[in-house]
Every structure is written in structure tokens, then in C-alpha cells.
Structure 1
Amino acid sequence: MLNRKNKLLLLKVLSLFSVVRGYNLLIIVLAQYLASIYILAPHLPLRKVIFDIDLFVIVLASILVIAGGYIINNFYDAEKDLINKPTKSMLDRLVSQRFKLTTYFVLNFFAVFAASYVSFKAVLFFSAYIFGIWFYSHKLKKIPFVGNFVSATLAITPFFAVFVYYKNFETVIFVHAIFLFLLILSREIIKDLENMSGDMAQNYRTIPIIYGVGVSKMLITILILLTLIPSLLLIFKFDVGYMHYYFAGCIVLLILFLFILFRSNTKKQYVWLHNIIKLIIVVGVFSILLINVNLVLNRIL
């Protein structure tokens, strides 16, 4: 049995894990490695990619910066989250704001320090990434559409780091990136619909608050319809192995998503829409394995 002190320590660890969204970090690590193996460097032996120290450091620096980003975002959104996410917010508050800020600076320091192992350009890249996340959380988040666009851009930046490392400029990679960017941008506007109560209370100038729910739904619809274009290209124009089944499933799910969107008018329904997009993204990470099933089977057998 855990005593009171150990229970409190465990709760604080869980609180910090919640603040940095540890489950998201694990998915991002997996996505970066799978993208490297199957999309960015398919010509390299599996062992050479997995045991590449420079790639490991780039992934590590990415995760440290993203974790720090979640912390600074949580810091600025503390009051808003009390309204939008009361249960999660109460767990997050088990760790003091001072400790969160200290952890934020420590994580960013180690990210830049790790990047210095790769190159000075990597140091500049991750320093700019850290500044971009802070500037978004401090200023840009409250500007309608600009905040959404920057947030989506920051979300795909870790993959850009790996992309630059491998210097693979094939068109199929850009099509994958556009597909992911449009999904994330759609999700950001859905989150604004989901969080309207807290945003209004804290004077956030989001798209639903400034332009209304109807305009927000139209923007989401346009973005989802645009997402269908890279999906169709990846099915019919590019060789993505069995992953074309994933994109076919996405088209069906996204069309269903649009029908649900225009019937939604409550926070619970917007949360469902948010989760649909999140599901598509997470399943997409694991679906990267379908690009080369033979490689997977050879390693298993």
C-alpha cells in the first residue's frame, strides 16, 4: 500500500504527464521513426535508420521542445482550461505554476544542448521552434485563423526537421504533409468550437467568437474537402502500398464527418468531431507500416 506522501508524488507525476500530454509525445516519436523508415529514407537499411544517433537526437530534441510547448501553453491557458476542461485542469494544478515554468526552461535547454550534437543549424532550428511555440502561446493564439494556422504549422514542424535531415524532396512527401496539415488545421478550428465558453470568458478572439459558428463550420468544410484532394492523389497517383486502404477509409470517414458537423451544436458533439480527426491522425501513424508490408513481415518472421 502506498502511504500519503507516495500517493501525492504519484499524483504529481500523473499531473506532469497530463500537462506534457505524454501519450501524444509517444505517438509523435513513433510517427517520426515510421516516417523516416517508410517515407523519407525507404532506401536505407532498417538498422541504419533505427540506430542513427543523429536521428535519435533530432527526435529527442523535438520531443523535449514539444513537451515544453505543452507546458507553456498550459501555463497561459490555466484560467481558460478551468472552464473548458475542469477535470483535467484540476489534475494539472497538482503541479505548481512555478515548477511548470522551471521544467519548461530545463526541457528547452536540454533540447538545444542535444541539437548541438547534430549541428549548429540544428541548434538554430530548434531555438526558432522554441521561440515560435512561445510566441504562439503568448500572442498569436488569440488572433483568429492566424493562431489556428500557426498552431497547425508548429504541429508538423517535428516532421519537417526529419525531412530536412534526410533531404528527400519527393512529391509524395509533400502530398502526405499537406494531408496532415489540413487535418490538423481542421482540428484546431473544431477545438475553438469546443472551447467557446472558456474562450469567451478569457476574451480570446477565435473564429467562432468573432465570425460565428456558421462561418467556422464552413471553413472546416472547405478544409475537409481540400483534404480529400491529397487523399485521392495518394490513392491513385502515388505508390503508397497497402496504405491506400487507409486513405480510402479516410475519405469515407471525412464525408461522414461533414454530415455530423452540420448537425452538431453542443460541446459534446464537437468533442466527438475532434476525436474523429484525432483517430484519423493516430491510425494514420500506424498505417505507415502498410507502405511496405514485406519489410514488416520480414522483421517479424
Structure 2
Amino acid sequence: MKHFFKLIRIENLVLFAFMQLIIKYGFLNHIHFKDALGAPQSLVLWQSLSNFQYVLLVFATLFILAGGYIINAIFDVDTDNINKPNEVVIGTHISEKTAYNLYFVFTCLGVGIGFYLSRVINKPAFATIFVICAALLYIYSNGLKQIPILGNAIVALVAALSIVIISFFNIFPAIYAGNEFFMKTLVSILTDYAIFIFLLQFAIEIIKTIANEKGDAAYGISTVATSFGIKYSKIIGTASLVLFISYLTYYLVENLAHNLYAVGYFILFIIAPVVFIGIKLFQYELNKEYLLVIRILKIVQITTILSLLIILISMQYA
């Protein structure tokens, strides 16, 4: 079982599930507002998906991502034998045929649930989001990843879509004239957080190419690190982190400058670790050091999503 979990990158799946669950049960469900007539409303009653349907949305996302991890592992067996031989599962513990079958099952489940949920909210066209994500992950693994920058951006985009999809399936269908302004504000907030996740994930993907440079170079695979070199890869990764901090600062100034508790949280648990990484990235040279940077950035993704809770709590007790 541990080899199966390693194949589907269970730690990454838990991270994305955590983010989606926190957004609904830690943020959206605790929001109260007044409609156009001035009547108090609780957002828990004005979301499109029931609790069961929202859990299905989370599973659909996880199935698509798990399929993406599996197909990527299949195509990366040779390079992984050099970069991380102790973590190779396909061919050692799970056969390639079984891996392909698992990819097919997970992807079909994800897309199938997507079609079901799109019918539930009466927006059948929204199912194409799952189809597009699954297609992007396959194309990425089967060649697109060898297009520097673009391949990394595709993975980051899919990560961001795991946030955007909540707006499409849980908020947009519930918009009507009486709550339009408020609901669109929520969509705007989730879009901002999707951008945060995109920039962090893009930096993670760039740093991964640095950590995997040896194996990728041995097989002539074109990545940011093998194409531009380690030094410029670090510059590109740092540039993404600078953009993240810049956009986050803009977000704070525009929306939370009056909320000192929230600002303090952002500085201490989000900005400070990213600044630390930006500095250390140019000092690190060992593979294990790059892996440490990646872990820290994943933690920052969690603290970024948790900031939604901090904002709500600080507003209640300010």
C-alpha cells in the first residue's frame, strides 16, 4: 500500500484536499452578509453544492491529480532512476501495465464525477474543466514538460484551477440579483488565492528542475535547469517568489491594511519564509537542500490558504 501511496503522491493530494476543505468549511461556511433587501444571510445556505456534492468535487480533483502523478511517473521512470532511485515505484513494486490501468481508472472517475456535478448545478459545460485538466496533465507528461517555462506553468495552472473550480461549481450557480455583488466579491477573493497558489507552485516546479537536473541532462531532457543552467533557473524561481510577494503586498494594501492581526500573520507565516527561501536558494547546492526548499514552499501554500481563517477570526475579534 505504501508504494501505491507513493505513486499517487499522497502527500500532495492531502495538501490539495486540505486547501479545498478549508476554503469551504473554514471560510465560506462562516461568512454572513446582507442581500439587496438588507436581510441577513448565511453563505452556508447559498452555495450550490451540498456537503456530499462538495466532497465529490474534492475527490474529482484528487482523482484527476492522482492520474496526472501516475502518468508522469510512467514517463519519468528512466530519469527517476538517476535522480531519486529509492523512490521509483514503477517496474519495482508496481508494473507499468498496472500503473496505466490505475491512470485510466482515476482519470475516468475524476472526469465522470465532473460531468455528474456539472449536471447537478445545471451547467453541463463546466465539465470541460475536468477534461481540460486531465488532458493538460497527460500532454505535460508526454512531452510538454520538455518545453521550459511553459511546461512548468501548466502544472502551476492546474494547481490554481483546484481553487478556481470552487467558484465555478459552488458559487457561480448560486448568484442572483440579490446577492450578485457579494458573491462576485467572493469569486474575486478565490481568484486572488488561485494566483497565490499558481506563483508558489510555479516556483516549486522550477526548483524541481534544479533538483532533477542530473538525471534530466543524462537523458537529454529539456527543462529550465538543463536549458538555461542552474544559476538562471534560480533567478527564474526567485522571480516567481518576488511576483508572489509583490502581488500579496498589493492584496494586503488594497484589502487588509486596517487589519493588523491579518497583516502580522501574512508577514510572519507567509512573506518571511518566502524571503528566507529567496535568499537561501542562491546559497544551496545540494539536492537535499532543494528538496527542503520545496517542502517549505508547500507549507507556505498551506499557511496561505489558512490566512482565510485568520482574516475571518481577526475581523470578528478586532
Query: What's 2:302 paired with?
Result: 282
Equivalent position of 2:127 in the other structure: 123
Distance 1:92 1:37, change over 3 A: farther
Residue by residue, what CA displacement relative to the aligned partner does 1:204-256 show, whole Å, maximum 9, x if unpaired? 11112111122112212221111111221333322496543332122222222
* SS across alignment from 2:285: coil
5+ residue gaps, structure 2:
33-41, 119-123, 173-182
How do residues 148-187 of structure 1 correspond to structure 2 at under 5 angstroms?
A: 148-165=152-169, 166-167=171-172, 168-170=183-185, 171-187=188-204
Q: Which residue of 1 aligns with 2:225?
A: 208
1: distance between equivalents of 2:205 and 2:114? 29
> Is residue 176–residue 230 contact of structure 1 (8 Å, CA) maintained in 2?
no
Question: How many pairs align?
Answer: 285
Equivalent position of 2:111 in the other structure: 112
- Give the share of equivalent positions with the same residue, in percent: 26
Is residue 231 of structure 1 aligned with residue 255 of structure 2? no
Distance apart, 1:67 and its partner CA: 0.9
Q: With the length of structure 1 as denominator, give the TM-score of the two structures.
A: 0.85
Whole-angstrom distance in 1 between the partners of 2:151 and 2:243:
20
CA contact (8 A) 1:39 1:173 kept: no
For residues 57 and 156 of structure 2, the distance between their equivalents in structure 1, rounded to whole angstroms, comes to: 20
CA offset digits 1:55-83 (Å, max 9, x no partner): 22222211111111111111111111111
Structure 1 gap segments, 5+ residues each: 1-12
Counterparts of 2:83 and 2:262, CA distance in 1: 36
Deviations 1:75-102 (A, max 9, x none): 1111111111111115883111111111
Residues 77 and 90, structure 2, Cα contact 8 Å, conserved in 1: no
Q: Distance in 2 between matches of 1:179 and 1:90?
A: 32
More displaced stretch, 210-219 vs 186-195 = 210-219
TM-score by length of 2: 0.81
Whether 1:27 aligns to 2:24 is no
- Say whether residues 1:271 and 2:291 are aligned partners: yes
Q: 1:17 to 1:108 in 2, by over 3 A?
A: same
| Alignment match, 2:99 | 100
Shift of 1:277: 1.1
Contact 1:20-1:70 within 8 A present in 2 as well: yes
| 2:281 equivalent in structure 1 | 261
Give secondary structure in 1 for the equivalent of 2:12: helix
Q: Indicate the larger mover: 190-199 or 253-262.
A: 253-262
- 2:176 aligned residue: none
Superposed CA RMSD in Å reads 2.6
What amino acid maps onto 1:259 in structure 2? I
Would you say 1:246 and 2:265 are equivalent positions?
Answer: yes
In the alignment, the residues of structure 1 paired with residue 66 and residue 45 of structure 2 have an alpha-carbon distance, to the nearest angstrom, of: 28
Distance in 1 (CA, whole Å) between partners of 2:194 and 2:297 is: 16
Secondary structure class of the residue paired with 1:237: helix
